[in-house]
Structure 1
């Protein structure tokens, strides 16, 4: 497997936790949504499972860069 795939898998797990937590808090904090939590939380789990690899794939190339475009290496004092 390519390095970008490994990074995507690792980042996907972290993104999944953050996205699920944000959605779960939103569902449980809003009284109108909390009434339907029995149906919304499983749906949110599926949505999170599908969306997190996409978000992680968008983040992975940026995490792999050693020097970001536009950064100039500095040698000594300027």
Structure 2
């Protein structure tokens, strides 16, 4: 297992929580979506589980780099 994959596994839960929280807030705050929340919240759970991994994979190399994109 590579270092980037290990870092991605560590931050996967954090990214998943942020994606789910954002989706839940959108569903519960938009008036037209509020009446469909029993259907949409499980959909958001599944979507956040799937979408969080590519986001974590994209973030992992940046956490490894010493200065990010500043170029020092």
In structure 2, relative to structure 1, the CA distance for the partners of 1:6 and 1:33 (3 Å cut) is same
**Which has the larger Rg?**
1
For structure 1, the residue ranges without an aligned partner over 5 or more in a row are 72-78
C-alpha deviation, 1:67, in angstroms = 3.8
Please, what TM-score do these two structures have when normalized by structure 1? 0.84
Alignment map for 1:1-78 (pairs within 5 Å): 1-68=1-68, 70-71=71-72
For structure 2, the residue ranges without an aligned partner over 5 or more in a row are none
- Structure richer in helix, relative to its length: 2
In structure 2, relative to structure 1, the CA distance for the partners of 1:25 and 1:68 (3 Å cut) is closer
C-alpha deviation, 1:48, in angstroms = 0.4
Computed over aligned residues only, the root mean square deviation of the Cα atoms, in angstroms, reads 1.2
Please, what TM-score do these two structures have when normalized by structure 2? 0.90
C-alpha deviation, 1:49, in angstroms = 0.5
